[in-house]
Amino acid sequence: MKKMGATATPLFKDHYSISIISLTKTLLPWTFFALFSIAFVRLYFYPFLPFTTTPSPKTDDFSHSSYPFLHASLPSSSPSPLSSEKEKVYEEKSCDYSNGKWVRDKRGPLYNDTNCGMMKEGRNCITHGRPDSEYLYWRWKPSECNLPTFDPNIFLQLVRNKHIAFVGDSLARNQLESLLCMISTISTPKVVHQNGDGQGKFGQWHFASHNSTISLYWSPFLVQCVEKSSTRPNNLLYLERVDEKWARHMDQLDTIVLSIGHWFLLPAIYYENGSILGCHYCPGLNHTEIGFYDVLRKALRTTFNSIIERKLRGKGKNGIIDVVVTTFSPHHFEGDWDKAGACPKTMPYEKGEKKLEGMDAEMRKIEIEEVEIANNKAKSEFNEFGRLIRLEALDVTELALLRPDGHPGPYMNPFPFASGVQEHVQNDCVHWCLPGPIDTWNEILMQIMRKWEK
């Protein structure tokens, strides 16, 4: 079993407003931030709050907030062999899971708010009083193949004696929470480490039954960043330097799941090779406005190049490393973030009803392209040692776009309308309820890992 040390990275707050939906690629850099900078920052710092264990004895918190964590009421069980039906699915040809539609599924989710204590309070929509439950009874159906339901026994077999790390922003954490909840239906993990010292976030959980470890690293840009403060409104990004808070443990990881995007919309100043490259929304500063699309591309390329170069230096001594990039997940704000009805939908969009376009399409396009470029580079670089890196995009952008009903909305806080409809109410139309649509991300992740295992 690979071991690793603790690391830390800063906390996350976030908020959006409806106007971004209609903004064109050209207008985004200026109009969006001129109107909605305050709202954006508020929502983004909310999600990355601490875990706590419920009802187990309290472990070290991430930082200043309670978070029911790591409680599962179901017993552990040993892994079961693959059935003949599952073997048949296992043998299927590679599938485009990104193309499909949401269909009704009366079975509902694997877990709920009573048998998983690993979800952040702000995602626990049921416990917080969300009155409708229709959003729980939908399943993603790919157009050309089958997407099996998540099987925690199979997943634990796939990660036996392995270490998986989720690296990125609060949506990386959202996906990790979903995965822990689904696995905990058969096996409860031990909290190995949690910390939050004001400089970062890191968590680690161990499944003793399979000697498997799952870790979380907060790194919203993947590259080195000095986050903004009360005296400096801009993030400072160093685009040629990978963030060592997670990258220094790279040789100890078997699978890395990367999930970034939303933090690139925030005001920032960009550095490259010791010089200021430009900025995104920095009025009053004598820097060139360059937006954030090329910056996202550069950050991904620096990350992938670093993984490849470190593997080359090690000559593959630690075996294959798998890298999965979860693509950009759109928000669904339809009104002011602090008003009731910001994301009011209670049903998915039909296929074709909502078109993937604008910023959402561009962010996804960049991520898909950079994964392909890195894959080609890895293939050419590793001829001497064999295939040491596998990269794949977990393309969820369109299927996420079709689920405006899956966000906490006002139920990011408990019973927001207990005293009637208020003039101001916070809404989260970025992250996902647990259980909810994001569980599908991990169903697809499991199929990617099964394909690699085969």
Name the helix (H) or strand (E) containing 38. Answer: helix 33-45
Position 103, amino acid: V
HSE (side-chain half, CA atoms, 13 Å) at 176: 30
pLDDT, residue 206, reads 97
How far is the first Cα of the chain from the last one, in angstroms, to the nearest whole number? 22
Q: Which residues contact 152 (CB under 8 A, 6 or more apart)?
A: 110, 182, 183, 184, 185, 186, 187
Position 65, amino acid: S
Q: What are phi and psi of 123, to 5 degrees?
A: -100, -10
Residues known to be catalytic: 170, 428, 431
Pick from 220, 310, 213, 217: nearest CA to 254: 213
Q: Is 219:245 a contact under the CB 8 Å cutoff? A: yes
pLDDT tens digits, one per residue of 270-308 = 999 999 999 999 998 999 999 999 999 999 999 999 999
pLDDT, residue 231, reads 87
* Angle at CA of residue 97, ends 342 and 379, nearest 5°: 120
Give the C-alpha distances (Å, rounded to integers) separating 111 from 51, 129, 179, 229, 367. Answer: 18, 17, 11, 38, 31
Pick from 132, 136, 84: nearest CA to 344: 132
What sign does the dihedral 96-98-104-110 (CA atoms) show?
Answer: positive
Low-confidence ranges of the chain (pLDDT < 50): 1-41, 44-92, 197-200
In sequence order, the β-bridge partners of residue 143 are: none
Whole-angstrom distance, CA of residue 33 vs CA of residue 99: 32
Whole-angstrom distance, CA of residue 350 vs CA of residue 248: 44
What sign does the dihedral 179-184-187-190 (CA atoms) show?
Answer: positive
Rounded to whole angstroms, the maximal C-alpha distance in the chain is 67
Pairing of strands 255-259, 321-326: parallel
pLDDT, residue 78, reads 38
What sign does the dihedral 87-92-97-103 (CA atoms) show?
Answer: negative
Q: Is 390 helix (H, G, I), strand (E, B) or coil?
A: strand
Residues in the chain: 454
Token duo for residue 142: 């790919």
Pairing of strands 68-69, 138-142: unpaired
Give the C-alpha distances (Å, rounded to integers) separating 52 from 56, 59, 275. Answer: 9, 7, 42
Residue 57 neighbours by CB distance under 10 Å = 5
Position 107, amino acid: R
pLDDT, residue 131, reads 95
Global pTM reads 0.81
Can you give the C-alpha Rg of the chain in angstroms? 21
Whole-angstrom distance, CA of residue 263 vs CA of residue 430: 12
Q: Is 47:159 a contact under the CB 8 Å cutoff? A: no
Token duo for residue 411: 């139920």
Q: Is 36:267 a contact under the CB 8 Å cutoff? A: no
Whole-angstrom distance, CA of residue 78 vs CA of residue 187: 9
